[in-house]
Structure 1
Amino acid sequence: MHALPKSRMNFLDKNVKQSQNEIASYVGRLLRDAFGKGPQSVFVSINRPYIVIYLRNFLSPTEKILLRQDQLLSIQHTRDLVMRSLIPEIKAYLLIHTGMEICEFYYDWALHNQSGVFVGIGSDDDYHFTASIHEEYLGREALHQKVEQISRQIQKSPEDIYSYMINERTLVVIRKGILISIGKEFIRLGFEESLKIAERNLEKRHLHNNNAHFQHILHSGIMDVFTDWDFHLDKGIIVFILNPSQ
């Protein structure tokens, strides 16, 4: 393992709680400026190489009207357009304030819960810090089997599944090698957004239908479930926001 630059070591010594509070404040302001209304609450979890940002009560007055009219696609499309300009800013901020170079960035919304999540995954260097991430947790193998089953129903069995309990309330599941040939062709033809919408609708339907099963596996209530993909890396992510008290 190569030695880390002194500047990176200084980041390690920085108070994690302070970093989380600073990031939460920044993301809240950024979203408020971009959407006209920011989230009521922002919760940040840092466990290298992962940064998970969970948003609560994030829906503008205009979006509430569209939601009542079942215009979910309009809300999602508008948010996607805005996020394209915000993601580089968020990555730059995280690099400055955590020392982590974010190589992968995922996001999703649960509009019915007025919530959302951002997930940043750091560079290879950040994987040197995974010692504190608990890869083993109660129900891990059963969870992987259920996720594999759902993936197989929608596309195909993933070539690899791994997951991390970032903290007692945040579980990240990553799948690699899930695209089938027709999905790759849709991307080649420029229909990536349509493919992602279809994937998200199908997968969330399966995840929500199996909510009780997941709760039984994890021995925890589930507050939210999010999904996103990086089709060019052929990777998909699922984030469970847990409520251990339930």
Structure 2
Amino acid sequence: MSETNKDQIAVVTGASRGIGAAIASRLAADGFTVGIHYGRDTDAADATVAAIEDAGGKAFAFRADLAAGTAAEDFWASFDKAAAGAGVIGQSLKVLVNNAGVTLRGAIEDFSREDFLAQQAVNVNAPYFIVKEALPRLADGGRIVNISSGVTRIAFPEIIGYALTKGAIDAFTLTLAKHLGPRGITVNAVAPGVVDTDINASWLRGNQDAIDGVSASTALGRVGQPEDIASIVAFLASDDGRWVTGQTVDATGGTNL
């Protein structure tokens, strides 16, 4: 367990499972105390915290509904309460990872207004306002990492609404990096391709044809794993990533090159 980031907090949204949990575990291994945000699944969040603690790290969980109109205010109020309970009040907030998101399917002709607005609320509005409320807390020299998607480069008409939200995240990343540069805060995005997580389980896991198809489309010849994405986030969150900002890092394994 690294001591490099001792007494510094990293917050990861949507961290109870999948990519978010892998990011949280990696940042904890790198010495951060990690705030595990979750939306609904308390058991999964508690399991992520327990796994981090079993490995010698520090973490605590807190809940907030990112679809709510007061998502950012609720988010940080819940964080403060959980941090106090975990005895980490006063530690510096060094890293914020905006990972939480929803993927709703449908071509433009079929995608309802209600679904579009619900997806926009979680994928775009929540990160924007969570960052806005975080800025007085975030240490100079801190890190913001936004999870984007390879769908901003590779066209998938069946998730057009999702692609639009991730394009917004890329633009947000670039502009925010310019704004926060004077404080030494880096802002970057990471764009995964297909990753073996619960969100893809219904069509990927146990489906060898799907696995072979995804693997064949990547230069590196396999399906991505959550730890692949976590490693990139960890680099951007580290001191080694200090001279990288305003970038969207393609983390698709070379899909559709």
Q: TM-score, normalised by structure 2?
A: 0.29
Query: Which one scores higher on RCO, CA 8 angstroms, separation ≥ 6?
Result: 2
Q: Given the two structures, how large is their TM-score scaled by the length of structure 1?
A: 0.30
More strand by share: 1
